[in-house]
Amino acid sequence: MQKQALAPLAGEWDKFPEGRKKKWLEIVTRYAKMKPEEQVRVQERMREWIKLTPEQRMAARENFAKSSLVKPEQKSAQWQQYQQLSAEEKQRLAQEHAKKKSVTNLSPDLVKNPQILAPIKLGPKPAAKPALAAPIAPVPAPQPTASAAALAVTPAPASGSLPAVSEPAIAPAVGSASQAVSK
């Protein structure tokens, strides 16, 4: 029964993505319960679907999604309004709709006979170059501070003892350069 129901899609079946196949299989599960005239209608719609271009199929899906958002009462009211229009108004609406449907500004010849482009062939990827290390900036030598200049060194006595260092005249500032270098 499944093969019979999906017969109109047989030529394209292998090209369908898995999600689409799943949707069609869901339709087939309902197909067996349909009346014969409904089955004929479903198969006719399948034949029409196969004739559509991918762009037309996408537009049909979008239209279906939009129409399913409209409440049934609203749909019937809009349909009644449309039925009351004159033939000229209906024709004008159809022409406006056709203009809106045009996705691109291609000439009719290009739309009917699109040029198929060859795929872009990519060559082998080049070997990755090793990243150069960023040069390391030299660390500046500590600058003498006011507190270091205030230290007085007296000459060494002849006896060979260590030189005496006097106390600084100014206390070092908190966070001074000498403290920053020691961190």
Per-residue pLDDT tens digits for 53-93:
888 888 888 888 888 888 989 989 988 999 999 999 999 98
List the single range of 67-71, 108-112, 132-136 with lowest mean pLDDT: 132-136
> What does the alpha-carbon distance between residue 9 and residue 22 come to, in Å, rounded to a whole number?
13
| Structure confidence at residue 104 (pLDDT) | 53
Taking only the tens place, the pLDDT of each residue in 30-48 is: 888 889 899 889 889 888 9
Dihedral sign of CA atoms 103, 107, 108, 111 in order: negative
Residues in the chain: 183
Q: How many CA atoms lie within 13 A of 35 on its CB side?
A: 2
- Tokens 């005239």, located at residue: 37
